[in-house]
Structure formats: C-alpha cells, structure tokens
Structure 1
Amino acid sequence: MPPAADDPATRTALAAHQAGALRWLGGGAIAVVLGVLLGAAAGPLVDDGRTVPGLGLAVIVLVLVGLVGVGAGTGALLRTIRWRRALAVTPWQIGRLRIAGPAVIAFEPEGYDELDPTAEPVRLRLLSTAVWRTRAVQGLDGGEVRAAPVGGGQWVLGADGLPTLYGARTTRR
C-alpha cells in the first residue's frame, strides 16, 4: 500500500493544518509585539503624569493572549511536521468510525468483526477540544474514514470530503 502522504487530499489537508498553525503563531507574535510596543508607548505618558484608563490591562491581555497564540501555533506546527513525517511511511487504514462519547471514538479497521470476542476496535480520544472539530468528527459516526498511527499512541483521522485531518490519542476502555 502506498504511504498516506502520497494521497493528494492528505497533502492538501496537511498544508491546511500547517497554514492554520502559522496563522496562530503569527497572530500570537503580532499580539506580543503590539503589547510590548503599547507598554513602551505608555511609559512617557506615565512620566508626564497622564493616565489612560485600561492601558495597563490592555498591555497585559495582549501579551498573555499573544503568548497563548504562540504556544498553540508552535504546538500545531510541530504536530504537522510529525504527522507529515509519519504519513510519508505509513499507509492509510480504511474502516468505520463509531462515536462512544463527546470526544471518544472507536475506529474499526476493515475486516473488524464485532461478533468476534477477541476483536477490539482502536479506542481514541480527540486531541482537539474545539467544539466545531468534535462535532465534525461526530458527524462521521458509522461512516468510512481513513486512519493511520503516527507514533506515541497517536493517530490521524481523515475522510472524503473533509478539508482537514483530526488527531486522536489511544485510550483504555
């Protein structure tokens, strides 16, 4: 079987994931820079005895929110790189997706027999807690999906018609 990264839809989804990561990273960096610049501009105002209500709070919020954005963007960018490397050597497995809870899913690979007492589906928990991502995956309940292990107990899920990939971590029962 060819590696998952050979699929044009997979390459497009990875590029979209990377673009989102770069947006978070860039937006966070811009917010930090604006917070620092605003703080530097506030210095002369305070020296002159003038005050601007809420200026200090705005500086703190910009820097903190920016740092969160930088962290989220960096994490997503590293995840994209790890996924790209893993999918370059790992083929997609086709199977059915079953929803077991809000962010808990089970992947039943092709050939899975639910009547076989020794057969176990791959139990996963979504990495993202974003409501829209969780709902998008829940909409795939009973549908055919592609999944691939990417190491460290993590899997990547995709399906026809979805513009992105979803990360999940294996769980116990």
Structure 2
Amino acid sequence: MHPAADDPHTRTALEGYRAGALRWLAGGLIAVVLAVLLGAVAVSIAEDRGRPLPLAGMVVVVLVVGGVVAAVAGLGALLRALRWHRALTAVPWQRGLLRIAGPAIVAFEPEGYDEWDPADEPVRLRLVSTSVWRTRQVQELDGGEVRAAPVGPGQWVLTAEGLPTLYGARTARRPR
C-alpha cells in the first residue's frame, strides 16, 4: 500500500488545511499590529486634544486579545498539519463508511467490517473541530465512503472525495 501522503487529494487537502492555519496566524498578527498602531494614534490624538478618545482603549484590548488567540490557533493548526503530514507519510488510507452517532461523534467502519460479527467493532471517533460548519460538513457524509488514517495514539484524520480539507478526530470512549 502507498502512504496516504502520496495521494494527490491528500496533498491538496493538507495544503487547504495549512492555508486555513496561515490565515488564522496572519489575521491574528495583523490584529495585534493594528492594535499597536491604533494605540499609538489614540495616544497622539489624546495629547493633541487634551482628552482621550472614547472606546479607543477597549478596541485596542479587544484587538490584542483576539489577535493573540487567533495567532495561537493558527500556530497550533500549522503544527498539527506538520504532524499529520509526517504521520501520513508512514500509513496508508483506510477506506470505509462513516456513520454519525451524535453531534460530533462518528463511527468509521473500515472495508471488511462485519456489523453482524460481535467481535468486529467500528472505530468510534470524536471530532476535534470546534467550528460548527466543519462538524456539519462531516455530518453530511453519514453513510458515505470516507478515508481515514491513524496519525498518533488515539488520533485519526478523515477525508473524502471532493472535500477540500482534512478533519481531525480522537478515539471516543464507548458508552457503558
């Protein structure tokens, strides 16, 4: 079997994921720079007028906090994409069906899975995405064919034909 990273769709999906991470990182850094510039302009105007600009301090604080959070999220996504790429160079994709079991809980049934065999269990996964639109994209794949690959202990990556990105998931504990 060929490593998953050799697949052209995988390369495209990883690039899409990286592009999103870079947008978050760049947006966060731009917000922090704008906050510094706005703070400098607000101080200059306040010195000239003799009184502070209303809400300028609040806007600066919101830009700094939001920018730092976005930059950290983007950096984390970049590191995750690098880790996924390394893992996907060592393992092949496993094809199978995706079953939705809850808002962010899915079950991956690899090829050869026998639902009538009590010893054969699907891989139960919990999506790690925090965005509603990404979760809904995966939910729309219910019953459809997907590709999945383990990228670490208890960590998986999912994708399907036509999807522009990868989705991370962790193994879920089975309800008792």
TM-score band, normalised by shorter chain: over 0.9
In the alignment, structure 1 residue 155 sits paired with structure 2 residue 156: yes
How many Å separate the matches in 2 of 1:107 and 1:163? 20
Q: Which residue of 2 aligns with 1:23?
A: 23
34-43 or 126-135, larger mean C-alpha shift: 34-43
Equivalent residue runs for 1:130-169 within 5 Å: 130-169=131-170
Q: Which residue of 1 aligns with 2:103?
A: 102
> Which amino acid in 1 is paired with 2:82?
I
Pairs aligned (count): 173
How many Å separate the matches in 1 of 2:165 and 2:18? 10
How many Å separate the matches in 1 of 2:73 and 2:151? 20
Equivalent residue runs for 1:29-48 within 5 Å: 29-48=29-48
Say which SS state the counterpart of residue 135 (structure 1) adopts: helix
How much does 1:139 deviate? Answer: 0.7
How many Å separate the matches in 2 of 1:42 and 1:68? 23
> Which amino acid in 2 is paired with 1:141?
D
How many Å separate the matches in 1 of 2:70 and 2:153? 25
CA-atom RMSD in angstroms: 1.0
Gaps of 5+ in 2: none
Say which SS state the counterpart of residue 156 (structure 2) adopts: strand
Please say if residues 43 and 52 of structure 2, whose CA atoms lie closer than 8 Å, have aligned partners that are also in contact.
no
How many Å separate the matches in 2 of 1:68 and 1:101? 28
Identity of aligned residues (%): 71
> Which amino acid in 1 is paired with 2:20?
G
In the alignment, structure 1 residue 4 sits paired with structure 2 residue 33: no
How many Å separate the matches in 2 of 1:102 and 1:17? 22
Say which SS state the counterpart of residue 148 (structure 1) adopts: strand
> Which amino acid in 2 is paired with 1:93?
Q
How many Å separate the matches in 2 of 1:91 and 1:169? 18
TM-score, normalised relative to structure 1 = 0.96
TM-score, normalised relative to structure 2 = 0.95
How much does 1:11 deviate? Answer: 0.2
> Which amino acid in 2 is paired with 1:85?
R
> Which amino acid in 2 is paired with 1:32?
V
